[in-house]
């Protein structure tokens, strides 16, 4: 195996490992914290608001944001040592995550990306409903249905916590690492597939076929997020698209809960495609 092949293999392992590791680390810490609270006498249920707060803090805060910042800051010092150990030529490649205040072009990408992501998912889930397959629901959907009073509070959480943190990890770090050795199209596809696949673990219930099809649908917005980052080199752009997309699904759920069970059926289905 030549050095270029080795570099590609290392990039694949490190990028996908960071993506999966960030989410799994956060989930593990959230469950450990919940267990600690249970042992201390607190009543923590999987569908409780308290467990949702723990999950958001550890999965989004520690798993996504924390791992991303750790990688970006540790790479300059650890990178050369790993290169030497792996037998690569000495030297270091700068790694950064592009960010900045969106300009007019970026806002155009945000608007187009949001419309494209939401329209694609809406069509995909409409097809799923016609196939009449049983799909699972993610943790957030379960908590929201059990605690309707918190639904509107989830909108700013989607905008300012979930969207930015997940994009920082999966687009900024995972896709950015893959782009060092792969073409834009391949890097976007692999990062998006990892993003969609990791969210499969958050689905509760549903059939195997139904949940697999949900992940295929979820791949669409992930591709939109990845393409927008590649095009603009500004992580703020996919973060905003992701946050507004999630917020729209949450708003649909709220409308369904307020105006009756018949309207709630559609938002519940949409929540299966909530990338959180």
User: For the segment 178-214, what is each residue's pLDDT rounded down to a tens digit?
Assistant: 999 999 999 999 999 999 988 877 777 777 888 888 8
Residue bearing tokens 């080199």: 233
φ, ψ for residue 17 (rounded to 5)? -65, -40
Instruction: Decide if 204 contacts 136 (C-beta within 8 A).
Output: yes
**50-54, 112-116, 271-275: range with highest mean pLDDT:** 112-116
Average pLDDT for residues 48-54, to the nearest whole number?
86
Contact 228, 188 (CB under 8 A): no
pTM over the 0.85 mark: yes
Do the Cβ atoms of 202 and 138 come closer than 8 Å? yes
Q: Report CA 220 to chain centroid distance, whole Å.
A: 12
- Mean per-residue pLDDT over the chain, rounded: 86
The pLDDT of residue 105: 97
CA 120 from centre of chain: 17
What pLDDT is stored for residue 150 in this prediction?
Answer: 86
- The tens digit of pLDDT for each residue in 136-155 reads 777 777 777 777 888 889 89
Name the phi and psi angles at 137, rounded to 5: -125, 140
Out of 40-44, 144-148, 230-234, pick the least confident.
144-148
pLDDT in the model for residue 268: 54
Percent of the chain with pLDDT strictly greater than 70:
91
Q: Are 188 and 175 in contact (CB under 8 A)?
A: yes
Whole-number Å distance between alpha carbons of 116 and 108 = 12
Q: Contact 197/170 with Cβ under 8 angstroms?
A: no
Question: ∠190-60-169 over CA atoms, to 5°?
Answer: 30
> Is it the case that residue 276 has pLDDT exceeding 70?
no
């Amino acid at each position: 195996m030549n050095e270029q092949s080795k570099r590609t293999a290392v990039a694949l392992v490190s990028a996908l490992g960071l993506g999966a590791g960030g989410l799994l680390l956060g989930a593990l810490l959230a469950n450990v914290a919940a267990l600690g609270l249970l042992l201390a006498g607190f009543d923590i249920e999987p569908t409780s608001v308290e467990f949702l707060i723990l999950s958001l803090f550890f999965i989004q805060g520690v798993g996504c944001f924390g791992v991303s910042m750790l990688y970006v800051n540790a790479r300059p010092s650890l990178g050369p040592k790993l290169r030497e150990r792996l037998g690569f030529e000495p030297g270091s490649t700068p790694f950064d995550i592009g960010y900045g205040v969106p300009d007019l072009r970026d806002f155009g990408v945000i608007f187009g990306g949001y419309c494209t992501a939401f329209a694609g998912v809406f069509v995909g889930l409409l097809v799923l409903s016609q196939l009449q397959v049983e799909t699972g629901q993610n943790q957030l959907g379960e908590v929201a249905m059990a605690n309707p009073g918190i639904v509107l509070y989830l909108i700013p959480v989607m905008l300012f916590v979930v969207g930015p943190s997940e994009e920082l990890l999966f687009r900024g770090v995972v896709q950015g690492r893959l782009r060092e050795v792969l073409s834009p199209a391949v890097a976007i596809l692999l990062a998006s597939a990892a993003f969609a696949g990791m969210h499969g673990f958050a689905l509760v219930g549903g059939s195997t076929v139904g949940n697999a099809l949900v992940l295929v649908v979820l791949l669409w917005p992930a591709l939109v997020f990845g393409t927008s980052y590649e095009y603009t080199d500004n992580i703020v752009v996919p973060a905003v698209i992701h946050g507004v997309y999630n917020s729209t699904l949450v708003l649909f759920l709220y409308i369904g809960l307020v105006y009756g069970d018949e309207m709630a059926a559609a938002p519940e289905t949409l929540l299966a495609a909530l990338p959180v």
